[in-house]
Structure 1
């Protein structure tokens, strides 16, 4: 056996004896036995020197020999090892938006064998061979990009699955993938990924729990148990340490041993920290990364650039300790360093020089310069050998080392160096490999393969760490608790001192809205899991790969930890809102209400953790989380009833977690006896059943338990219709314009009352279990359109705007219409209505081969009465073109949309003109501004306004209007999903009537307005910019008012407070400046 410098050196220093003897009052063992928190007044033990460590390891080795215990040695051999990656080259490799789309489509086509991939293989490691022997420390040198990291991962079996691996790697003669346990080889990453909330000691101790107690000490413990008689004959100086290692405190002992040799004693109980949390330095983090893997059972270590961030002295200290461990514990170590100083280089036994994926040299350190001298290159006397080895293969630096006087210098390529190495040194290496005897070593590896950590111990370690992280992240959870408490108080205050009879559908609707908000807020509260999970994912992926941390252990631990969090947060919400809002007072109902919210909170936390794991980045996870939040709300059955969903979207209703929570919490409330008042609606007999059916929710009680724990279940949901009444407000806006027209028309009003529209139930919905024969699209819609009044019909997509227009215009050829429609007080007759009405489609369909004038003339020929004379028709067409501002385009070709002819805005005006030449009294316009920019939309709306000023009745459906376009309308009909009307009436000046209608802020919350600096700013700006407050201005629909009257009447701003507001505004500026000064003076969030 090779003992190196420790061989034959029996006397151990006193510190080493103290280290092993277990003197808790003054020695190293006393420090090992302590907890993670240093006791007050306790004396720090002296640092562990190289001599102490060598003496301790030497004593361990001799004791193993006396007990007949031999540590397993692992020899790593690799033959024709090749690693390739498929990459794109040229411009296609640049991650532009176009390239990403094209590459994704190509990947999809390649996966289904529709085309051949255009990626080119790039070799990272090119057919390298060699052997790494135990009890030796190998230095891996190479420039950045030479393939060092890939080479180390290939030897450790940690390669990415996207890389192509060729060749063979043997551990003691057997292929790596066949029998070698993963925990016998360890890869130390160059990236320092740790939990910022844990201390150094806690980080390394968790790693020891996942990897197992240090193999050396465990073997000694087992040997002692097998040979009870021998223990009394051996030296007693290590017995206490071995017993503690074997019978209860081993992980703490070995953790402290690793902390000492890595020089981490002074920061062992300091948090690791990150960018926002003060912690240890970068060099200490690097040492903690090394310590994570040294505490395990591994016999082979592959360390990647572990000197990054360390100074030369610290690098030498750590390398010296690792050298002693490799030599005296028979470990196999391959260490990659970037710029090793000469004294550190001397600690290594062998060198592997890797250049462009090829091994240029692999052999003893002493022979490295000799190999290059045979090639004609010599290292200067004062040159660092490591620097020489990396520069001699560089094309830029190679010439300065040319030492042959006989031959002229010629550039030696990497391939030439590699070929020379294969011809000269590789045969000797292969001879050693063939003569090496691996018998017995395989057996040792296989015996140690049974040494696995139990699942229970893995779970305990993960659960303990999650509890620790919960404590360290307690401010986050305290903030969430305060947040949900405030939200509960805000939501419940509108219900204070209110009395509802619980005998009407309107009262039930208010409770339904409160239940919806409860589910929404509880679900939204779980979104914080996205940020917390994203922050922890890199560390988990590292531990999953290097520490064999199973996903199930983390999942179970996080789930158990989240249970008390959900209990507290949902308990606070339920306790603060349930009886204040006035839900069913039964204790059983209270518990069932709480159970639904608890399950919803657990679901939301799990959902957002899942989305974070998919997204992996904060931006992508937030995008997925927001999309999921919107999807489960929309498809959950409240925002859009299940009956209103398209058949192809019905699956979304049953997959949305919101569906089950909303149904369960509504069933719990409306099945209470308070809602048992008789109310006959469809199949419902009580108010509670009626509101459930109106909302399209489930009515059977057994669905409560199905929704709390959802599983596959079939039920028939019937199509329902609402029973709400709305009355139109007939507020005038002045007389119609008396503009003269060539063809006079009679101004007509249109009144519709209780309009319901049904269609036959689609076959797809019938197949899904819906028993209703009809599907309702409009529900009890009432309103009026008047001459000279421009009415906007608004609502979200699917609210029924176009359907209502088609029903009123008589354009529906199918379905069933209920209700009354009257024209000027008389029942509508479709035979005559088509003569007095016009309908502008959303799509502008015209003949491309006609001019503007020809298009209008053709329409006039077809639609005007036969008694209209030709010259009157022509004059009327010119009048209409002037009205819609198309006179200059009279002879322009209509053309093809998007290619030739008129622009989109001009086509829209032509569509309006085509209807106007029929001289209608009522005009319906479907989305006249859709697809237009702001300027074009303004031109079209100016045309519409001119049409209204002629005294015609005009109604427009419109999407996303600007404030200018919106306030050009006189009245508004607002619809929601399901064909229900929620507002009908005059907008008023600056939309004041509508704003007052929707203004629901309780009086006791008005203080928020006055506490907002923006409110004071607006106040000051309004009065300071409007000049003379006594000046008369014209207010639309009201007449002349002074500026002071206008501001006070419509904005609530009083002139007499202007001086006070000005002072307060200046004071607010000074206040925030002073707060900023205090913050930068006393608060410091920088972490060093």
Structure 2
């Protein structure tokens, strides 16, 4: 197993390239039999990466400046070794890791990265590698064993039996020292769970469950508590390392063996005291040089000369495809097949099933989330009756934004397809939406006294469900394009308010300006609102206003009925039309016509509302496809 670790004096970033053991399958024409052979050799040469640093007023200042994060970085990660990348904050450690892990767009990154002298395709790299992020993104209400078991379902081959996957999980639990926390939930701010160190080990276990050939880790020790971190002497960590790369402002100031640090800095003119930690001395010296007028330029040039006379040779290995096949046959990727690893471990329907089971299990242990939504729906039902029920859908935004980052971590290395996640998400929310719709409908239909009888109640239930479905889908789509919760709520509420304003409830459709009428038809609230009106008033035989009711909502409403009848008789004499207290002045179709609701039937409104929900789910898929690649530009 080959590891590359990047650390600074206050903590570290780790890039762990884990490779299998094997024998070389080809040689050059030279006699390199005495040189070490490498089944896998990850090489990177002259990596350069720059970004535009924006300014507050680019139009007045001529645009932003360019900042170089990596400047000609070269090195190798060898099979069976640990390579640590050290440097102060901002030196380029994480950027280098992202570059090697294919998390930077190819157009932005200059230089070349090869595995066994071959450029690795993104699809192949995702299949044979894993990346442990700096932050532990896990489902809070799953236990340690369940978290690892779901990871096994995603990453282990579909041909492996359930019992073998469980055996692999149990072995990994023992390997990571998590046996005492097996049945403990991960936990979060509101739920007590595993410790920080255990949480970090679970994050690592999730990514090594399939025994990847290459493993990248970003700050693997960041989860340790302060006591544990203090009790781990730096010299012990140094004893685990095989090679070092030390960076300063995106450039290499040392590459080589940790044991050569003393000789290296002695020849540079700075001897390391015998009892002082070598890496701490090196980082302190580099920090001092960075503060000097000339910076680390002299050390960078010295490193180039040092490398030219201390470079090492290794025997070239087999082709990448052959090396992967040999590694798989020896147990890597937990497979018995010698063929190239597939892009995804499971079938499309298997992914949906596993994703759904995980979401349901996590949600079932957090009933407060559903209860909150249910209470919001009930209160909204009592107060607003219908259309503002959309606002209950915003409660799902925090959950979706949390899952979004877990999704990015898992799909970055092909745990499952994006389409599987989208369909699973839709299936999981459906039962909750049905319950919320029934609760909302039961309260509002009978409390308000809506018409239509039982058939009207059933249709009202359908349109309320459709409105919740489209509202939930809208929020789900927005969670795919909104990066932060602080931005999420204002944006979602603002969009729903605009939809409500142009739905026809506050402003009649005929009174909306022509240049805004297009927004009326885009309003998701328009269609359930019109559907409810159709369900209530779409009856040509029922009268909703008779003669004597003309005086309602006027100052004459308090006069005796006999006086109202005489006034109606006077109106008849003047207009020449017989008007009595029972004469019908307004039927349902008249009310719909006055509201400008005549172009669509109630069933059209129902189907369009449902269609909006599916449309937003499709947009959600594309937002994940193009906007959640977890790469730097």
TM-score, normalised on structure 2? 0.75
**Match for 1:480 among 360, 367, 373?**
373
1:443 aligned residue: 322
Q: Kindly indicate whether the alpha-carbon contact (under 8 Å) linking 2:499 and 2:523 is maintained by their aligned counterparts in 1.
A: yes
**Residue of structure 2 equivalent to 1:342:** 235
CA distance in 1, matches of 2:222, 2:398: 29
Distance 1:484 1:448, change over 3 A: same
**Structure 1 position 149, deviation (Å):** 0.6
The 1:668–1:390 alpha-carbon spacing in structure 2 relative to 1, beyond 3 Å, is same
Which residue of the other structure, out of 692, 696, 703, is the alignment partner of 2:604? 703
Do the aligned partners of residues 421 and 486 (structure 1) sit closer, same or farther apart at CA in structure 2, a change above 3 Å counting? closer
How many aligned positions are there?
A: 529
The residue number in structure 2 matching 1:266 is 180
Q: 1:606 to 1:382 in 2, by over 3 A?
A: same
Distance 1:465 1:178, change over 3 A: closer
Question: Deviation at 1:278?
Answer: 1.7
Instruction: Return the offset for 1:118.
Output: 2.0
1:579·1:585 contact (CA, 8 Å) conserved in 2? no
Evaluate the alpha carbon distance shift between residue 677 and residue 137 of structure 1 in structure 2; reply closer, same or farther with a 3 A threshold.
Answer: closer
Query: In structure 2, the residue corresponding to 1:395 is in which secondary structure?
Result: helix
Matched, 1:128 2:73: yes
The root-mean-square deviation of aligned C-alpha atoms, in Å, is 3.4
- Does structure 1 retain, via aligned residues, the 8 Å contact 2:386–2:444? no
Quick check: 2:143–2:186 contact (8 Å CA) kept in 1?
Answer: yes
Say whether 1:525 aligns with 2:392: yes
CA–CA separation in structure 2 for the residues paired with 1:283 and 1:300:
23
Could you say which structure has the greater relative contact order, defined with CA pairs below 8 angstroms and 6 or more residues apart?
Answer: 2
For residues 586-621 of structure 1, what are the alpha-carbon distances to aligned partners after superposition, in whole Å with 9 as ceiling and x for unaligned? 433222111111000011111122233333222211
- The one-character-per-residue Cα deviations of 1:738-792 (angstroms, maximum 9, x if unpaired) are xxxxxxxxxxxxxxxxxxxxxxxxxxxxxxxxxxxxxxxxxxxxxxxxxxxxxxx
Which residue of 1 is the match for residue 170 of structure 2?
A: 256
Residues 475, 492 of structure 2: 8 Å contact kept: yes
1:379 aligned partner: 272
Residue 355 in structure 1 maps to residue 269 in structure 2? no
Map 1:152-551; keep pairs closer than 5 Å. 152-159=97-104, 161=105, 164-177=108-121, 180-212=124-156, 246-310=160-224, 341-395=234-288, 413-426=295-308, 428-429=310-311, 432=313, 436-445=315-324, 447-450=339-342, 452-454=344-346, 455-488=348-381, 490=382, 517-546=384-413, 548-551=415-418
Describe the shift of the 1:249–1:412 C-alpha distance in structure 2 as closer, same or farther (beyond 3 A): farther
Distance 1:450 1:444, change over 3 A: farther
Looking at structure 2, the residues matched to 131 and 666 of structure 1 have their Cα atoms a distance apart, in angstroms, of 70
Deviation of 1:467 (Å):
0.6
Tell me, in whole angstroms, the C-alpha distance in 2 between the residues paired with 1:283 and 1:649. 56
**Cα separation, 2, equivalents of 1:708 and 1:355:** 57
Aligned residue for 2:109, secondary structure, equals strand
Asked if 1:624 corresponds to 2:491, the answer is yes
For residues 541 and 146 of structure 2, the distance between their equivalents in structure 1, rounded to whole angstroms, comes to 56
What do the CA deviations read for 1:230-267 (whole angstroms, capped 9, x no partner)? xxxxxxxxxxxxxxxx4322332222222222222222
Using the alignment, how far apart are the partners of 2:76 and 2:512 within structure 1?
Answer: 67
TM-score with structure 1 length normalisation? Answer: 0.45
Structure 1, 78-87 or 201-210: larger mean CA deviation: 201-210
Q: 1:573 to 1:312 in 2, by over 3 A?
A: closer
Are 1:76 and 2:42 matched, yes or no? yes
Q: Deviations over 1:798-818 (max 9, x none)?
A: xxxxxxxxxxxxxxxxxxxxx
The 5 A counterparts of 1:914-925 are none
- The equivalences for 1:640-789 within 5 A come to 640-672=507-539, 675=542, 687-698=587-598, 701=601, 703-709=604-610
> Any conservation in 2 of the 1:85–1:162 contact (CA below 8 Å)?
no
Shift of 1:574: 1.6
Q: Which runs of 5+ in 1 are unaligned?
A: 3-59, 63-71, 93-98, 107-114, 223-245, 318-338, 399-409, 492-516, 712-1088
In structure 2, what is the equivalent of residue 603 of structure 1?
470
Counterpart for residue 563 of structure 1: 430
CA distance in 1, matches of 2:62, 2:340: 44
Are the counterparts in 2 of residues 192 and 289 from structure 1 also a CA contact under 8 Å?
yes
The question of 1:150 aligning with 2:134 is answered no
CA displacement at 1:78 relative to structure 2: 0.6
